Structure 1
Amino acid sequence: MKQSENNILKQPFFAKFWVSRILSSTSFQMLSVAIGWQMYELTNDAFSLGMVGLAQFIPMVLLTLVVGQIADRYDRRRIVYLSLVIEALTAGFLLLGSISGWLGRDLILLSAALIGACRAFEGPTANALLPQIVSKNSLPRAVSMSTTAIQTALILGPTVGGLLLAFGASAVYLLAAAALMISAIFTYSIKVEPIKDRKLAKISLQSFFLGLEYIKRKPIILGAISLDLFVVLLGGATALMPIFAQDILQTGPWGLGLLRAAPAVGAIIVSAVMAYFPLQKSVGITLFGAIAVYGLATMLFAISTNLVLSLFALMVIGGSDVISMVIRSSLVQLQTPDELRGRVNAVNSLFTGTSFQLGEFESGMLASFIGAVPAVFIGGIGSILVAGLWMYLFPSIRKLESLTESSNGAGEQVH
């Protein structure tokens, strides 16, 4: 497959993959906005908001090892396709429940859990699919463009979701269901390069843990994945957005949509720039610097009582986070062999994807005890402390100069 590194969106199959990711991620963000708003309207309880995150977190944890095995042994394209179809049907269920009036707290949590299970399959499998669509040389740029798709979704999803909430949650569920079905069709039409000479061990208890063992042997991958877990766990304030929108900034659903979209406004600008001007040097220091900025911006958002200042802080959060995301994603993809890519990406998704849901749960719990503002402010401080600690624990990351630099640290000991 011939690749045009400078015009990657002109590659038809990558373009379909890219559009599909925008549609599926936009739909997920729309569903998150609607579910969170509807849950808070029903319960007026920060604890219940946190439970939504926990409902999505549990199936992701339970399915991680299974997802990796399936993604490494079966058609990744079909796995993503089926996941999207089930998500669309779940959105349809939420639509029917909202229209009929029987959708309550427990059914919302059940739907969130089913969406979480589908995302457990969709996310890591789609990530593992990407190297089958583009060449190794094009992969860093493809990762950046894929990140741009996600960030585009983070703008479109919350904004559209927040605006549509003026017409009721059912309007959000209807559009999300339609977009997910279109995304599924795009995914099914993608043709991928078959993997030659893939060597897979027979299914056994040991094979389930090969991804974990590989990550443990590679300090750069271990550090990159675990770094995201703790930063998002401590610094995430997404679950508390309804509280900030209603009680602190005193805006309605439109304000919630703006708050949810603001991080992506900064992120999409930065990710688009990185797609055409990739990082060339001091990658490790840049990673830790971006996380420090992320923590400071989180603290600013926590203490802000002005909508404009809050939106600015969230834009900085998004811009700094995307730098970290592109670096970490590229490292994981480039330093993992294809026969383990599904399992490694499954573990990566457990750390990166579920850290978001677990972070929502943690934020909701902490906010229920000490309030939303202190909870978010403490999280920002924690992100900065984690960055400093990881610089010491993983010197191979700190010393990393480029994304394509080979790791010599297979046997490196973590401090």
Structure 2
Amino acid sequence: MSAPAHPSHPLSFGNFRAYLLGRLASVLAQYGMMIVLGWQAYNIARESMSPSGAAAQLGLIGLAQFVPLFFLTPVTGWVADHFDRRMIVRLTLTMLTIASGLLAFATYEGWVSLPLLFGIAAIVGIARAFNGPAYSALAPNLVPRDVLPSAIAMSSVAWQAGMIIGPALGGYVFAITSWGAYAMASALFAVAFAGMWMIGPVPQPPRDMSRHPIRQMVDGLTYVRSNRLVLSTITLDLFAVLLAGATALLPVYARDILKVGSTGLGHLAASPAIGAGIVALFFSFRPMKSEVGLKMLAAVIVFGLATILFGSTAFLPRNIAVEVGIGALLLLGAADMVSVYVRQSLIQLHTPDAMRGRVSSLSQLTISASNELGEAESGFLAALVGPVAAVIGGGIGAIVITIIWARLFPELRLARTFDRPDLREADISQEKAP
């Protein structure tokens, strides 16, 4: 008699349900906190600086998060491949809960300052440096191999939805009560911490004790460089989103261009969330199965076009500028969700489990470079040429990069499906090994 088949849906597994809850809560908290942190930094700076000088402070906030992550990336990937990934996430969530709680208290008491905001941004960068690779590498350990594509897709959707919905929540709660946005983030980090404690023991790749840790850290970079499909997806996101950083300048648009205040900031930040949520809901019922590479390339081009449209709202009459801006951000969020869904699925499914922590750390570095370093680039460029030119020029740059990548990496445009048969067979063999 054959053994009964295991459930075919990721949500049938308790460990994965707890993981998904924690993943969504932590990303909501993180990005909700960061949009408010940027808004506070910009408003504090505007009390004594010009708009261009205050925009540069947004750049410094992004830089404060990126620098620790940049230097810690080789270590964090190795740590995720050699220690209990659950414990790594628990420790970092504790750091983030305390940091957001401190900001809530400081805001309530009225002694928030730029140095405090920069310091908390750096702490967030350190926590994320360890948190991201461990979280990403943990997901494939929670479900059977044949359920893994759906699990990775759902994890990617939760991450992207949280990343875009989080700023909307932060903006709306901040409009009601400034300290409440940070208190909400602290509560969500605590929920994520509880979810991580609910996950039972999971498989951990065997530790390689025969080679020096530094050599093993280099292995992740070597693997990414040799796998052109993984390399192309990681670097496309890096350069396209690095240039097209419209969301980094939302505080500038909300206050000084569209003049809609903190409530309007919430509306603007919610627009990509709605677009991403619609696409995420669609993929939860109809996962992408064909021509995944071409669809990713098309999505990044649409992302660039939507960025250009949003930047151009500065030239429109006030009575339609906000509506057009919201529509552009809806489209931007939808396109970004398609791109992230494809990228994360390709990276995880084309990477062996023993290497996932290191590859995930490199992927996180490029994501952070495109987001936090992109915020720095957008803030500094806005200070130099103005926010409108920075946004429009970034959208054009994203389109140009996509066209170049389609030519440089034919593997990407020729990728038909997510799966890689040779790696699948190797993983199954490893699972069956005593």
The corresponding residue for 2:432 is: none
Verify the 8 A CA contact 1:270 1:322 in the aligned structure 2: yes
Secondary structure in 2 matching 1:165:
helix
* CA distance in structure 1 between the aligned counterparts of 2:222 and 2:17, rounded to whole angstroms: 34
* CA distance in structure 2 between the aligned counterparts of 1:381 and 1:178, rounded to whole angstroms: 39
Secondary structure in 2 matching 1:190:
coil
TM-fit CA distance, 1:314: 0.8
One-letter amino acid of the structure 2 residue matched with residue 82 of structure 1:
L
Verify the 8 A CA contact 1:68 1:343 in the aligned structure 2: yes
The corresponding residue for 1:53 is: 62
The corresponding residue for 2:188 is: 179
* Counterparts in 2 of 1:98 and 1:400: CA distance versus 1, 3 Å: same
Secondary structure in 1 matching 2:190:
helix
One-letter amino acid of the structure 2 residue matched with residue 147 of structure 1:
S
* CA distance in structure 1 between the aligned counterparts of 2:148 and 2:61, rounded to whole angstroms: 34
One-letter amino acid of the structure 1 residue matched with residue 375 of structure 2:
E
* Counterparts in 2 of 1:252 and 1:126: CA distance versus 1, 3 Å: same
Matched, 1:78 2:93: no
Verify the 8 A CA contact 1:53 1:361 in the aligned structure 2: yes
Matched, 1:254 2:269: no
TM-fit CA distance, 1:78: 0.8
Matched, 1:356 2:371: yes
Equivalence map 1:110-259=2 (5 Å)? 110-154=119-163, 156-195=165-204, 199=208, 201-259=210-268
One-letter amino acid of the structure 2 residue matched with residue 207 of structure 1:
Q
One-letter amino acid of the structure 2 residue matched with residue 222 of structure 1:
L
* CA distance in structure 2 between the aligned counterparts of 1:143 and 1:3, rounded to whole angstroms: 18
TM-fit CA distance, 1:174: 1.3
The corresponding residue for 1:9 is: 11
The corresponding residue for 1:387 is: 402
The corresponding residue for 1:378 is: 393
Cα deviation 1:348-397 (Å, max 9, x = unaligned): 10011232000000000111111111111011111111111111111111
TM-score (norm 2): 0.90
One-letter amino acid of the structure 2 residue matched with residue 243 of structure 1:
V
Verify the 8 A CA contact 2:350 2:420 in the aligned structure 1: no
The corresponding residue for 1:318 is: 333
* Counterparts in 2 of 1:103 and 1:398: CA distance versus 1, 3 Å: same
TM-fit CA distance, 1:156: 4.1
Secondary structure in 1 matching 2:287:
coil
Alignment RMSD: 1.9
* Counterparts in 2 of 1:196 and 1:153: CA distance versus 1, 3 Å: closer
The corresponding residue for 1:33 is: 35
In the alignment of these two chains, the number of paired residues is 407
Cα deviation 1:150-205 (Å, max 9, x = unaligned): 34324542233222223443111112112111211111211243146565644432
TM-fit CA distance, 1:101: 2.7
* Counterparts in 2 of 1:2 and 1:36: CA distance versus 1, 3 Å: farther
Verify the 8 A CA contact 1:3 1:11 in the aligned structure 2: no
* Counterparts in 2 of 1:196 and 1:178: CA distance versus 1, 3 Å: closer
TM-fit CA distance, 1:9: 2.3
Identity %: 37
The corresponding residue for 2:292 is: 283
TM-fit CA distance, 1:56: 0.4
Matched, 1:328 2:343: yes
TM-score (norm 1): 0.94
Secondary structure in 2 matching 1:113:
helix
* Counterparts in 2 of 1:30 and 1:219: CA distance versus 1, 3 Å: same
Cα deviation 1:107-162 (Å, max 9, x = unaligned): 11010010111111111210100000122222222222123323432454223322
One-letter amino acid of the structure 2 residue matched with residue 205 of structure 1:
I
One-letter amino acid of the structure 1 residue matched with residue 99 of structure 2:
T
* Counterparts in 2 of 1:242 and 1:346: CA distance versus 1, 3 Å: same
The corresponding residue for 1:87 is: 96
Verify the 8 A CA contact 1:220 1:407 in the aligned structure 2: no
Verify the 8 A CA contact 2:29 2:186 in the aligned structure 1: yes
Cα deviation 1:316-367 (Å, max 9, x = unaligned): 1111111111111111111111111111110110011232000000000111
- In structure 1, stretches of 5+ residues that fail to align are 409-415
Secondary structure in 1 matching 2:7:
coil
Cα deviation 1:219-239 (Å, max 9, x = unaligned): 111111111100110112122
Which is worse superposed, 302-311 or 113-122? Answer: 302-311
The corresponding residue for 2:51 is: none
* Counterpart selection for 1:341 from 344, 356, 364: 356
